[in-house]
Structure 1
């Protein structure tokens, strides 16, 4: 008997997320994200308003087989401090499968590549990037209607920068404001006939040239002109050393 392998059909389609404030984190904003899948290539168009202005905002697509495939609620606030950090949101939205950087690597390795995420000039984030190469598994997860887009970075004390005494659950050298989730939305079947207008940040290709720049990257911090993360870090090191 001769068996013939039938190749699986390439994943194609579009999904869209309505981005809304994460419960308890004090964000007054919203946005939209649309992801188009063509085989193992993604095109992402995303816009959001009401974010902390002129500070880096990490953004990701999340998925977890055991996650609830939704945005977190205050019921996920494990330490009962009235806010949700990234880890507390994990059971709702799962792990990072795509980092929505502007250039370079888009894998989970770039989850905290602050120098390559949007800085939301004036509080508005506009992002567009094509040719984001992923595995077939991730492509299927994105089209499943269960992946979640999360934009991070909040301002609990209203001082216009990432600050405060509570440290990040992802990097204890940073304030939790720098990494806590701000906006969130589940990627469901798209009802749009086209991609949102206004995206201005266009990346240059696939995940080739992996850069492992974290939130301590000096080059990235320089981009925010001594404000935000750099201000906090200098103050913290100056007082603790």
Structure 2
């Protein structure tokens, strides 16, 4: 009788331990599934306005949290001896497309930000290196990545409209800032359509790519080793003739800036 009782005890203990192990495994797998519940999106950034630039951006979306990694190269490198600031955004509310040459309605050879608006929409989120990511920071060069190429990495909170646009497939990544020497004389002398105190080149789109669902989780490494990324912004707050903060310069300073742009 003792042997049978012992045998039953052993079998019962083994069964209990097995149940515990299976339960622990289930919890572990559940945790993995929960951690991987987000969706990945990718934008292949193509040149606009013959900028000669290229890049790739990955966005991992978990609820309203977006982890963004980006590599770009070939952008305008310097302005007034400092790294050229390239404001960049998630644009929403348009057709979810990048503009074609037909968008240049005034015939100056440059697709301005507003001319490209019907294709990609307005600013939903500013991809700044630090601080504000709202549309209000859309032209703040002091928190923009800079240089001819950069690696950008940041996790930010998106508003409901940006999240909805990404999920609907109508979100577009746009990187701004052109080399003025590649523009026509008329475009070099023209003011920005966003901030009239600046040259048109400063705010016109240089790269564009629609965000689409992706099976990849991170941006391929390799491109763009120079410039500022998630930990580097504009070192000189007087850049573009500004005292810092949102772009606002006096007319005389703006004229000098445009003349300097044209002379490069």
TM-score by length of 2: 0.68
Query: Is this contact kept in 2: 1:45–1:196, CA < 8 A?
Result: no
Query: Is this contact kept in 2: 1:37–1:143, CA < 8 A?
Result: no
Aligned partners of 1:18 and 1:129: how far apart in 2?
18
Match of 1:100 in 2: 127
Once the two structures are superposed, the pairs formed by residues 21-100 of structure 1 within 5 Å of their partners are 21-22=47-48, 25-53=49-77, 54-64=83-93, 67-100=94-127
Query: Is this contact kept in 2: 1:129–1:201, CA < 8 A?
Result: no
Once the two structures are superposed, the pairs formed by residues 79-228 of structure 1 within 5 Å of their partners are 79-120=106-147, 123-130=148-155, 132-158=156-182, 164-197=188-221, 201-202=229-230, 217-219=242-244
Query: Is this contact kept in 2: 1:39–1:136, CA < 8 A?
Result: no
Q: Tell me the alpha carbon deviations over residues 111-132 of structure 1, each in whole angstroms, 9 at most, x when there is no partner.
A: 0110000112xx11211101x1
Query: Is this contact kept in 1: 2:61–2:67, CA < 8 A?
Result: yes
Q: 1:139–1:156: structure 2 CA closer, same or farther, 3 Å change rule?
A: same
Aligned partners of 1:59 and 1:236: how far apart in 2?
21
Aligned partners of 2:59 and 2:85: how far apart in 1?
21
How much does 1:232 deviate? 6.1
Aligned partners of 1:145 and 1:119: how far apart in 2?
28
Query: Is this contact kept in 1: 2:128–2:143, CA < 8 A?
Result: yes
User: Normalized per residue, which structure has more helix?
Assistant: 2
Aligned partners of 1:15 and 1:90: how far apart in 2?
22
Query: Is this contact kept in 1: 2:46–2:55, CA < 8 A?
Result: yes
5+ long unaligned stretches in structure 2: 1-36, 78-82, 232-238, 247-252
How much does 1:190 deviate? 1.1
Q: 1:216–1:42: structure 2 CA closer, same or farther, 3 Å change rule?
A: farther
Match of 1:224 in 2: none
Which one has the largest radius of gyration?
2
TM-score by length of 1: 0.74
